[in-house]
């Protein structure tokens, strides 16, 4: 009998990837290709949706070659993706009407402030679980409808479709036969009622986008059609789909209420499973976690826009490092930051502050400040931002968190992981399988096909590779964190409303 595998597709912000997993979570092959970042104006961020598709297609082919297997060896495909990024396309041609507007894009910030200042602000939050923000998909779709010639007219004829990146990829993988998403992605659009589990007609009418075709919402572990035979020679079932952060929470085996993880990628994202109920908390967002076994699980989430991206800025903007890994030795080479705090609000502040007009702030600089202090301050900012959302959850819910599972590229930085444990004050666990996001997508697909039998089996497969215990006294950690909060206040409301920078 041929050995079988599951492919986990991870279509991210900076690259598209495909990973071939076996039943024991070994990675047989990986394919990866970068995605071009498009910046038409200050605060605007776009991707070419056709390039996103091409990159995923190429990554699948590369992964199969490296795994030394063929499509015949693949039991199913699971998809995970950058969320909130909006793709709008013409159903008559199958082509995008405009570039994909990326989650980082801020062009809708002023309109979102108008909503928040009206009675609609609380209506949106109650229905969607989200703070009104241009981070989410809704105002991106509205902008395309109002600013791309001919789109509104085509929408009135039923010819315009909206989807997040998952929906676009499923549409392309199936040759246009399946137009679907899952609960986790739908819940991040700011158009989906997470209480009734339907697209919200009132919100869509309020935004003037009710003519846009919306995808069928399906369970995260279930059928999303199958690939065109022309793509890989045979048709392969697509049986898993979840947004990247929910897939990461799933891949970290956080299946029980109260289990949490923090992802350190381009952005930083804290997610915590709240079980079968939505739990809205001030400063955080409530979303659908996954649709599984005929029920929907929910999560609480806190997103920070600039985490790993701050290290990229040290490399590409300030040019004080050659590669991200340089920061570990640099941070360890000095006893402290020398009083320097870096608030990386390069695109405003997200959870728990929700201030689109904040801007990046470096404070406490003296004549003795050098590149090592800056590297350390940048890494420390990741830990402080983790505590921002960690503490907000504990304060608002009244529930303690006993440990924090972590993933993303930055978990390879041992200095950072120890500092996170020190500042947050709980053990930090790094998984043996670092590719938690792609693994979560693969697990969702494999559960549906029977490749893996149950959540219990998956929980047993999850193992920690490293554990970091807090070593710093709470008094010292609190002193550092209090100074961080002072720095955050200095960064807030820095630019005027309507500023495109």
Each domain of the chain, given as residue ranges in start order, spans 5-244, 255-500
Residue with tokens 């795994």: 67
Please name the residues in contact with 122: beta carbons below 8 A apart, sequence gap of 6 or more. Answer: none
> Cα–Cα distance between 90 and 100 in angstroms, integer?
13
Helices (H), 150-283: 151-156, 165-173, 183-186, 201-207, 229-232, 244-251
Bridge partners, 96 (sequence order): 89
Decide if pLDDT at 449 tops 80: yes
If one compares 497 and 499, the residue with the highest pLDDT of the two is 497
> Cα–Cα distance between 62 and 80 in angstroms, integer?
18
**Nearest one of 289, 220, 283 to 256, comparing CA atoms:** 289
Torsion on CA atoms 437, 440, 444, 447, rounded to nearest 10 = 150
Decide if pLDDT at 499 tops 90: no
Q: Phi and psi dihedrals of 77, rounded to 5?
A: -120, 140
- 500: pLDDT confidence band, cut at 50, 70 and 90? low
> Cα–Cα distance between 131 and 479 in angstroms, integer?
30
Decide if pLDDT at 326 tops 60: yes
pLDDT-above-90 percentage for the chain: 88
**Nearest one of 265, 260, 234, 236 to 249, comparing CA atoms:** 260
> Cα–Cα distance between 196 and 368 in angstroms, integer?
57
Structure tokens at 17: 């990837």
**Nearest one of 377, 397, 163, 414 to 302, comparing CA atoms:** 397
Structure tokens at 219: 């369970």
Report in angstroms the alpha-carbon separations of 433 from 17, 59, 86, 208, 266: 16, 20, 30, 44, 19
- 266: pLDDT confidence band, cut at 50, 70 and 90? confident
The architecture that CATH gives domain 5-244 is 2-Layer Sandwich (3.30)
- 498: pLDDT confidence band, cut at 50, 70 and 90? low
Same fold, 5-244 and 255-500: yes
pLDDT averaged over every residue in the chain: 94
Report pLDDT digits (tens) over 52-99.
999 999 999 999 999 999 999 999 999 999 999 999 999 999 999 999
What is the per-residue burial (b if ≥16 Cβ within 10 Å, else e) of 57-66?
Answer: bebbebbbeb
Structure tokens at 243: 């947004």
CATH class as words, domain 255-500: alpha beta
Report pLDDT digits (tens) over 184-242.
999 999 999 999 999 999 999 999 999 999 999 999 999 999 999 998 889 999 999 99
Query: What's this model's pTM, rounded to 2 decimal places?
Result: 0.92
């Amino acid at each position: 009998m041929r050995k079988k595998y599951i492919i986990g597709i991870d279509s991210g912000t900076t690259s598209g990837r495909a990973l071939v997993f076996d039943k024991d979570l070994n990675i047989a092959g990986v394919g990866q290709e970068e995605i071009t970042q498009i910046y038409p104006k200050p605060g605007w961020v776009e991707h070419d949706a056709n390039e996103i598709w091409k990159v995923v297609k190429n990554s699948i082919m590369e992964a199969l070659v490296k795994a030394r297997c063929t499509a015949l060896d693949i039991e199913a495909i699971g998809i995970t993706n950058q969320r909130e990024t909006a793709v709008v396309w013409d159903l008559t041609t199958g082509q995008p009407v405009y570039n994909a507007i990326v989650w980082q894009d801020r062009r809708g910030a002023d309109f979102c402030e108008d909503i928040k200042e009206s009675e609609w602000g609380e209506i949106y939050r109650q229905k969607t679980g989200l703070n009104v923000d241009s981070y989410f998909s809704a105002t991106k779709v509205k902008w395309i409808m109002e600013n791309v010639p001919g789109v509104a007219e085509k929408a009135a004829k039923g010819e315009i479709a909206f989807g997040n990146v998952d929906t676009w990829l499923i549409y392309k993988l199936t040759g246009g036969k399946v137009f679907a998403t899952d609960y986790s992605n739908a819940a991040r659009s700011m158009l989906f009622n997470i209480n009734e589990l339907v697209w919200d007609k009132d919100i869509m009418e309020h935004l003037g986008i009710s003519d846009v075709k919306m995808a069928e919402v399906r369970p995260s572990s279930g059928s999303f059609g199958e690939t065109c035979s022309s793509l890989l020679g045979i048709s392969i079932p697509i049986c898993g789909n979840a947004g990247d952060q929910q897939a990461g929470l799933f891949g970290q085996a956080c299946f029980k209420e109260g289990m949490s993880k923090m992802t350190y990628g381009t952005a930083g994202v804290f997610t915590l499973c709240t079980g079968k109920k939505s739990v809205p908390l001030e400063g955080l967002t409530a979303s659908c976690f996954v649709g599984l076994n005929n029920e929907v699980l929910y999560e609480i989430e806190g997103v920070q826009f600039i985490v790993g991206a701050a290290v990229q800025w040290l490399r590409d903007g300030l040019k004080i490092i050659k590669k991200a890994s340089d920061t570990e030795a640099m941070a360890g080479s000095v006893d402290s930051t020398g009083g320097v705090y870096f608030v990386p609000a390069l695109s405003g502040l997200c959870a728990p502050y929700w201030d689109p007009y904040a801007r990046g702030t470096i404070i406490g600089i003296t004549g003795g400040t050098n590149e090592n202090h800056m590297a350390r301050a940048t890494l420390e900012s990741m830990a402080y931002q983790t505590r921002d959302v960690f503490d907000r959850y504990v304060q608002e819910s009244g529930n303690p968190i006993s440990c924090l599972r972590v993933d993303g590229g930055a978990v390879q930085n041992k200095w950072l992981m120890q500092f996170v444990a020190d500042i947050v004050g709980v053990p930090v666990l790094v998984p043996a399988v670092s590719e938690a996001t792609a693994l979560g997508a693969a697990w969702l697909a494999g559960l549906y096909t029977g490749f893996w039998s149950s959540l219990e089996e998956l929980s047993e497969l999850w193992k920690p590779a490293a554990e970091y215990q807090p070593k710093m006294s709470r008094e010292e950690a609190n002193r550092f964190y209090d100074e961080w909060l002072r720095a955050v206040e200095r960064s807030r409301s820095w630019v005027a409303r309507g500023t495109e920078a």
